[in-house]
Every structure is written in C-alpha cells, then in structure tokens.
Amino acid sequence: MEKPASHLPSAIRAVLFDAYGTLFDVYSVGLAAEQLFPGHGQALSVLWRDKQIEYTGLVTTSNSGAHYQPFWDLTRAGLRYACKRLALDLTTEREEKLMNQYRHLSAFPENLEVLQALKARGIVTGILSNGDPAMLNVAVKSAGLEGLLDHLLSVDGIRKYKTHPDAYALGPQATGLEARQIAFVSCNSWDALAATWYGYQTLWVNRYQLPFEELGTPPVYTGSTLRDVLSLPGLGTPA
C-alpha cells in the first residue's frame, strides 16, 4: 500500500465504503449483457456505467438539484442510452433482465473477510453510496453482508449525489466523528479525490491499475484490494 511520506495519520475509528465499484462489481453485468447482446457485453457495461455516473452529476448540479432522480432511475436511463448508442435492441424483457442483474451485482470476494476483521477491531463500518436505500438493502443482503455494516448511508435523503460535499458530510453526521477520524474507501478515482478534498482519510483501491485523476491532489493512501484497509495506519488492533 502506498502513502504520501508527509502524511501524519489520525486514529481511524470508522471505515466507510463506496458501494458500486468498490464492494459490488458494476462490470459483472457484462456477463448477462454478453448473453443478450453477443459481442457487445463489455462495451455495454462500460458505457452504461459511464453514463450512469454522468447523469448523477447532471441532476445534482443543474438548477440546484431540481432534476434529481433516484439512482435506480438513473441506472435505467443509463442503460437505455448505452443501448441506443451501441444500436442494440433493448426490449422490455432484456431491460428488466439487466436491471435485475444490477440489483444483484457480484460482490468482490474479500468483502466478508475485511468487514469481519474490522468488526473484530471494534471499528465502526458503513456504506456511503449514491445508491438509493432499496438498492443498497438488496445488494447487502444478496452479498451476505448483513450484520457487518453499522451504517447504510444513501444520498437519496439529501437529493445530492457524490461528489457534492453534502454527500460526504453524511459520514460525520451519522458517526458523530470528524472526517479525519474516518477512512473512506473507494475504487472510483473521482470519488476518492472528492472525499480527500472533503477531509477523509481516503484509500483508493486501484483494482485495475489505472492512473489517478490529474487534478493535483492524490488520495491519502492507495492499495490494490480491500484487504489494504486492514493495514491503514491508525486503524484499531484486534481486541
């Protein structure tokens, strides 16, 4: 795990995870997409994800959020756009199959191990996600992570998506901790960057060996799997 040499860590009392892309593999829908649209599964899953995130920014910043829609609706809209862009025939049946697949995304294999270890150390755990509450509840249950997360924090209540500062403020509000006492973990570089700007101790999990955003601020820490959470300086030790 990499970290800036100048960083002086504070004690970490809580760890909050991004959900989509971090705990749950958003590109796992590519398998179902490939079955429905042979030769286009990967391209569809990538474009679908990109458009979904683009829409969260649009509805958050345009007219002070007057065009907000729940994440589930933006996910559907992103799918429809991606299929039109790729000239794929998205029938109602195919749409529902893919949306149902998104509801039950594959979880990364180390999730359970990491969350159990954090609980053993007495660390508060949670999800801080763009996903709406129903989506998160189904995803957590489907992945067998029930009972391992103290908080399921959704931006739906404030109607502002990450990277708005109000979205990241949900963590301190829910835990009663300062941002510097919380590790925020994300595989999405844009998310890790904004959370760093907000003041979290960030861990960017660079699963795909990509460059970080070129905006002048690195994440506090960089790792390659969620297991790197357990090596963060200042994290509690097992009881």
| Residues annotated catalytic, as ranges | 18
Do the beta carbons of residue 22 and residue 130 sit within 8 Å? no
Closest C-alpha to 2, from 224, 207, 178? 224
Report the alpha-carbon distance of residue 40 to residue 30 in Å, rounded: 9
* Residue pair 85/50 in contact by the 8 Å Cβ criterion: no
The dihedral built from the CA positions of residue 137, 139, 145 and 151, taken in this order, carries a sign that is negative
Helices 71-85, 92-103: crossing angle, 10 deg rounding? 130
